[in-house]
Amino acid sequence: MTKVFIISLLLMSITVHASTQEGRVLLRDGFYINGAEGRMVGPESRGIFRFIIDSDISDGFTVIKAGASFELLPSAGLMKMRENYRPGEPYGFKLWARVTTYRGKNYLFTVRFLPFKQLDREKQPQQTVLKVNDPNDPLNIPADILEKLTSGREILPIQLRPGLELKEDYMLVDRTGRIEPHENGQFFFIFDSLGRNVDKTKIILLPCQALETVLAGQKNEQSVGRIKVAGIITAYEGEIYLLLQRAIRVRSYGNFSN
């Protein structure tokens, strides 16, 4: 029975990945964006911030064109980005992030970032132009160093307001509980250990393919069953969030009620 359920979840995952809302092209869930440059905008309604990419991004199957925007998920990384956010000024971010998909949309979960300032070359003092990497030049500068020298960007130190602790996200592994809906459209994960005295803290679930797959599997269930999960725990504005990476239905086989 467990194997059948896991196979069903995999088939649902393929269907979710293949389908888009309103024909929107999506990056695959779990794809890692490695140092994309862009700018942050917001906040919009409900406090949403977005990241607009400066160049195309491809996951090997799909290409998202420059100028596209992604909603940034609540996370400790986003809190740090907000402290370095200067709306209306020529500042941007180099962003490392995980991509998630949920109900026909892509989201970004911030892993780390570097803020930078776009330099105005017309206002920069004129300097002697050096010819580098010429075939007859004995000094050959590596491509990554050359790019930094000629990119027209000044990397800025990361700023943290007083009292903001630099805490890292951490993994939650093989914990059992239930998923419960909230009237605002969010879903919570609640720890459950068959009546034992355990933490009943409600953790807000971030939108991702694993959550969508579990919800699809429970759609026709008469009651919400217990699941074993693994994922990333993060914090944002005093709330605790969980980005699911794995979720498996736990069967009691009649020994306990689901």
DSSP states along 192-228: --TTSS----EEEEPP-HHHHHHHHHHTT-SSPPPEE
Top-confidence range, 13-22, 199-208, 217-226? 199-208
| Mean pLDDT on 182-207 | 77
- Top pLDDT among 90 and 98 is at 98
Whether the per-residue pLDDT at 144 is higher than 70: the answer is no
The whole-number pLDDT of residue 247 equals: 87
pTM: 0.75
Whether the per-residue pLDDT at 178 is higher than 80: the answer is yes
Whether the per-residue pLDDT at 62 is higher than 70: the answer is yes
| Mean pLDDT on 92-113 | 95
| Mean pLDDT on 134-159 | 58
The whole-number pLDDT of residue 119 equals: 61
Environment class of 117 (CB within 10 Å of its CB; exposed 0-12, middle 13-18, buried 19+): middle
User: Is the CB of residue 92 less than 8 Å from the CB of residue 116?
Assistant: yes
Whether the per-residue pLDDT at 147 is higher than 90: the answer is no
For the chain, which domains are there? 24-165 (no CATH), 170-249 (2.40.50.140)
For 57, phi then psi, to 5°, come to -125, 135
CB atoms closer than 10 angstroms to residue 9:
18
| Mean pLDDT on 173-196 | 81
